[in-house]
Amino acid sequence: MPGEAPPWAARLRAERRDREWSQRDLARELAEAASEETRSRLPERESIVRNIKNWEAGEHQPKDPYRLLYCRVFGLEEANLFDLAEPRRRDIVETSLSTIDSTPYPPHHGPVAPELVMYFLEQLPGHYKADMWLGPRHLIPTVATQAQLIKELAQVADAPVRRGLLSAGVAYAALLGWLYQDAGDINHSRVWRTLTLDMAHRSQDPQLVSYALTNKAMLAVDLEDGRTVVDYAEAALVDESKLCPKVRILALVHQAHGHSMLPVKNKNLVDRLLDQAADLVNRVDDEHPWGNACRRTVGYIDVQRATAYLRLGAYREAIALWDQILGTAPESARRDNGVFWARQASALAAIPEPERVVQIASATASIVDGTGSTRLRQELKAIPRRATAWADTASGRELAEIISQFA
């Protein structure tokens, strides 16, 4: 009937009432569920209450970070709470959680050829390259199908083939967790990150267990949960003497990111951790096809340092690094370069250099639709937070117009 609220709005209202919360109670719960950094950016409580009224009336759906906060407060998955089967998400997430437990083809019977392990591992470098060129939208279905097949083969294979398949499965599950994270689907990413760690333990390979822990840390970075990032990174380094340089680099980098997110900023500690990681880059000589970002990404440690400096408020140092990085980055890595440009623009917005910010934002915005990268979208949406001092200028209004397409 006309004026009736959509199902998701009715669900938000029902979940609140089931807990006997007023809208003001829910506003408090949402704020308390946020990380300290996110909480500092939330509006006044009255504004949140007004938003809740609008959401429950179905005027528009909550956007990040409120979607995530709703899921935390109600203990429900985003897909169930907000009816995420709309066309916009289907082209990104054709593969649902059900693909983990069911497939359209009969299960494999008979022995599993050991050559299959190498078959899957040899395809990984191509997937990593395709991710840089395409982003998650077109790659998720392919990787999800292969990850599911590996999982099923591992269930029927005998050791040592099973161990090899589990090792390959860790790499595929980690990649799929990353693709879903980049697509903005945190729930699917969380499932595959957990499966990564499960398979790593089954493989009995300490390198893979630590690698899986760094992947959990990577997800926590996007959730702005600095303490969890630090905990996972430190757990990955528990048996540091047994780890290859590449895994140690990943753990140290995430440990640095975690510390850059904490309320008490310690730039010296962040620099020391990244310096330790930098000293290991030239020692990476293993044959593992996974976790090669430190070799694949030009200026990898500088990218991590510039990103951390942005959180630390060391804007001029971050800009100097981004100028250096983007001067040597390959043009084919469209999505990654877009993320780097957006982060550079955020630092420039704080200095400020309005005209340069607008130029970068305009050029980068076109990459979002081509890659389906929610991470890039979020980086662009973050720029105005550092441009408040000049928001009412001509450049500020132009920036707002560019960013408004991602609202």
- The mean pLDDT value for 129-136 works out to 80
The per-residue pLDDT for 87 is: 37
Task: Copy the structure tokens of residue 251.
Answer: 């753990």
Q: What is the mean pLDDT of the chain?
A: 86
| CA 193 vs CA 94, 169, 198, 297, 372: distances in Å | 18, 12, 9, 22, 20
Q: What is the pLDDT of residues 240-285, one digit of tens each?
A: 989 999 999 999 999 999 999 999 999 999 999 999 999 999 999 8
- The mean pLDDT value for 161-177 works out to 95
The per-residue pLDDT for 262 is: 95
3-class SS at 107? Answer: coil
Q: Reply yes or no on whether the pLDDT at 319 is more than 80.
A: yes
Integer-rounded Cα radius of gyration of the chain:
22
Confidence of residue 184 (pLDDT cuts 50, 70, 90): confident
Confidence of residue 161 (pLDDT cuts 50, 70, 90): very high
The per-residue pLDDT for 71 is: 85
The per-residue pLDDT for 259 is: 97
Q: Reply yes or no on whether the pLDDT at 183 is more than 60.
A: yes
Backbone angles phi, psi at 366, to 5 degrees: -70, -20
The per-residue pLDDT for 375 is: 82
Classify each residue of 44-83 as buried b or exposed e, where b means 16 or more C-beta atoms within 10 Å of its C-beta: eeeebbebbeebbebeebbeebbbbbbbbbbeebbbebbe
**If one looks up domain 7-84 in CATH, what number appears?**
1.10.260
Domain limits, the chain: 7-84, 91-204, 213-296, 313-407
The per-residue pLDDT for 31 is: 87
Q: What is the pLDDT of residues 358-369, one digit of tens each?
A: 999 998 888 876
Question: How far is residue 55's CA from residue 50's CA, in Å, rounded to a whole number?
Answer: 9
| Of residues 73, 39, 40, 36, the one with CA closest to residue 55 | 73
Question: How far is residue 214's CA from residue 228's CA, in Å, rounded to a whole number?
Answer: 11
- Please state, for a pLDDT cut of 90, what percent of the chain lies above it: 48
The per-residue pLDDT for 109 is: 58
Write out the DSSP string of 342-392: HHHHHHHHHTT-HHHHHHHHHHHHHHHHHHT-HHHHHHHHHGGGG-GGGTT
Contact 218, 254 (CB under 8 A): yes
The per-residue pLDDT for 253 is: 97
| CA 162 vs CA 49, 167, 201, 354: distances in Å | 53, 9, 13, 56
- Please state, for a pLDDT cut of 70, what percent of the chain lies above it: 90
Q: What is the DSSP letter of 91?
A: T
Confidence of residue 95 (pLDDT cuts 50, 70, 90): very low
- The mean pLDDT value for 395-403 works out to 92
Task: Copy the structure tokens of residue 221.
Answer: 């970075």
Question: How far is residue 379's CA from residue 373's CA, in Å, rounded to a whole number?
Answer: 10
Backbone angles phi, psi at 25, to 5 degrees: -60, -45
- The mean pLDDT value for 206-217 works out to 96
Tell me the CA end-to-end span of the chain in Å, nearest whole number: 28
Q: At what angle do helices 206-222 and 226-236 cross, to 10 degrees?
A: 170
Q: What letter represents residue 109's amino acid?
A: H
Confidence of residue 84 (pLDDT cuts 50, 70, 90): low
Q: Reply yes or no on whether the pLDDT at 289 is more than 90.
A: no
Q: What letter represents residue 173's amino acid?
A: A
